[in-house]
A and B are shown apart, each in its own frame.
Chain A
């Protein structure tokens, strides 16, 4: 058959519908670790079915080069997936998002250049359906934003580019102007009478969208990346859905909607966990004050401890809650941490882990790292499930987290993190707090009251080195 999507035989439509159902089951499987792998297999089956159906219904003479392209892409993908270290997962996901975005742009451009192949022209003319123009315009715009935005997110997460916000003068004005121009051009592209249809509005939409993707992400600081990555995840879904409309393809529309809502929900969860509005994150600039704001209270007295002190305290304890944060990922301390936990468990200490939703650089980042270190997931708890337990816990061990433990979020109305839900580590009998030095504050640029409390012992060192020293001390 030709690419005329309007005359799809029902069996083909059914196959795409089945593949959409398999994708839904793939996400459904993630409701528990036990069912998650089966879910992932459903996802693979759905993708194989979608690709197989498309190949079966289209020009078979193109098959060899399609298979070669798929093999090349697949080999690269597998290689990356097998080699990537778990701490680099946020940047990998950002990089993958950029590919989806670029693929959407490429497909949109192909459909614009060769609309007959996609069956989106009025029969007998070269006129692209009006609704297809909107879909193409939106798909390409969202795809391009996803691409360039994800590239910037990747560079920031990878450390290639500084995580500091880059604030252009009049950036809100520039961004809103660019977005208005894109919207206007898509409108024009939609309304243009066919015979005189100029190609430039379409390409300008594409170009401006690449630009706005960069402009939107550069002012956003490194610590707001969980929201950014989720948001770009959402965009990649909407781009796929828009292209699905163009192709009248159920699998693409359903998948796009699933991915779009998934990313949107994750963004919402992350924003809520920081008590920030989505708009304030997108507006960017948060964390810019960190450079100037920190260091105000460096001279205050605090208690400093050694690895031996920490080992002694934890060994004496009945219960311990470990609070990991981004610093654990940076120093790759999760394996040493697990050794420490094993020794303590052998000594009769109850060990649990408390995860704040925005700990790390992407949703669920800490859980993956703990899982990688073979820490059983039933020892790992979310904020609301464990927060009340700190009061009955002997020792809280904070490793690489800072702002998510800061009592100022509850007490100091002037604090930039006021209202953010925090882990109540201060309620524990003793707080052991690993930090590189007393100098730097957290990303929010606020000092942490916790450091100076009587029941807090600061362990000033690299997280991994400190944990390894504690492991050594526990061995004696």
Chain B
């Protein structure tokens, strides 16, 4: 992929993000922040590559640190979102 190709994906994804996020109900803005937090930890891909492909120890351990950091976020972020979403309920509850 060339730079323009990736840039196109990026720009189009910004538009997708714009429309998808405006359709999020304000009542769920806090879970929205928690889940965006979790998914932005997709940066873990970079940390995994750094660790797996490193030729020296610096990049390897930086990668490892990145995996731990992103790991906290991924598991913590999705799980706290799940916890919050489970609390939202409608009137006719038992």
Contact of B14 among A50, A248, A260, A377 (CB under 8 A): A260
Within 8 A of A (CB), among B42-89: 42-56, 58-60, 62-89
Q: Are A36 and B21 in contact (CB under 8 A)?
A: no
**A100 and B73 contact, Cβ closer than 8 Å, known pairs A58-B53, A114-B54, A118-B49:** yes
B residues near A43, Cβ cutoff 8 Å: 35, 38-39, 78, 81
**A27 and B24 contact, Cβ closer than 8 Å, known pairs A73-B67, A107-B50:** yes
Q: Are B48 and A54 in contact (CB under 8 A)?
A: yes
Q: How far is the CB of B67 from chain A (nearest CB, A)?
A: 4
Which chain A residue lies CB-closest to B24? A30
Contact of B72 among A58, A99, A355 (CB under 8 A): A99
A351 to B11, CA, bound (A): 45
Does A24 reach chain B (CB closer than 8 Å)? yes
Surface stretch bound by B, among A84-92, A277-285, A408-416, A447-455: A84-92
Tell me if B's interface is mostly helix, strand, loop or mixed: helix
A368 to B76, CA, bound (A): 17
A114 to B59, CA, bound (A): 6
Q: How far is the CB of A345 from chain B (nearest CB, A)?
A: 10
A262 to B43, CA, bound (A): 17
Residue of B30, B60, B77 most packed against chain A (CB within 10 A):
B30
B residues near A245, Cβ cutoff 8 Å: 3, 6-7, 10
Which chain A residue lies CB-closest to B74? A47
A226 to B21, CA, bound (A): 17
Q: Are A58 and B49 in contact (CB under 8 A)?
A: yes
Does A219 reach chain B (CB closer than 8 Å)? no
Surface stretch bound by B, among A159-167, A178-186, A357-365: A357-365
A residues near B35, Cβ cutoff 8 Å: 26-27, 30, 39-40, 43
Q: How far is the CB of A221 from chain B (nearest CB, A)?
A: 20
Q: Are B42 and A77 in contact (CB under 8 A)?
A: no
Q: Are A252 and B46 in contact (CB under 8 A)?
A: yes
Which chain A residue lies CB-closest to B45? A54
Tell me if A's interface is mostly helix, strand, loop or mixed: helix
How many positions in chain B have a CB within 8 Å of any CB in the partner chain?
A: 83
Q: Are B87 and A368 in contact (CB under 8 A)?
A: yes
**A368 and B64 contact, Cβ closer than 8 Å, known pairs A251-B42, A255-B40:** no
Does A330 reach chain B (CB closer than 8 Å)? no
Q: Are B87 and A117 in contact (CB under 8 A)?
A: no
Q: Are A253 and B76 in contact (CB under 8 A)?
A: no
Q: Are A378 and B43 in contact (CB under 8 A)?
A: no
Does A176 reach chain B (CB closer than 8 Å)? no
Does A407 reach chain B (CB closer than 8 Å)? no
A240 to B73, CA, bound (A): 13
Does A346 reach chain B (CB closer than 8 Å)? no
Contact of B47 among A71, A81, A103, A253 (CB under 8 A): A103
Q: How far is the CB of B22 from chain A (nearest CB, A)?
A: 6
Q: How far is the CB of B65 from chain A (nearest CB, A)?
A: 5
Does A432 reach chain B (CB closer than 8 Å)? no
Q: Are A364 and B67 in contact (CB under 8 A)?
A: no
A residues near B11, Cβ cutoff 8 Å: 257
B residues near A6, Cβ cutoff 8 Å: 1
B residues near A3, Cβ cutoff 8 Å: 49, 53
Q: B1-30 CB contact bits vs A (8 Å, 1 = yes)? A: 101001101110110111011111111111
A388 to B10, CA, bound (A): 41
Q: Are A33 and B18 in contact (CB under 8 A)?
A: no
Q: Are B76 and A77 in contact (CB under 8 A)?
A: yes
A355 to B30, CA, bound (A): 13
A36 to B62, CA, bound (A): 35
Does A472 reach chain B (CB closer than 8 Å)? no
Within 8 A of B (CB), among A235-257: 236-237, 239-241, 243-257
Within 8 A of B (CB), among A5-35: 6, 19-20, 23-24, 26-28, 30-33
A residues near B90, Cβ cutoff 8 Å: 33, 376-378
Q: Are A111 and B46 in contact (CB under 8 A)?
A: yes
Q: Can you list 18 pairs linking A and B with CB atoms under 8 Å apart?
A: A30-B35, A36-B28, A43-B39, A69-B51, A73-B72, A73-B74, A77-B74, A81-B83, A103-B73, A111-B59, A113-B62, A118-B46, A255-B39, A260-B17, A262-B17, A362-B29, A364-B32, A367-B26
Residues of B within 8 A of A (CB): 1, 3, 6-7, 9-11, 13-14, 16-18, 20-56, 58-60, 62-91, 93
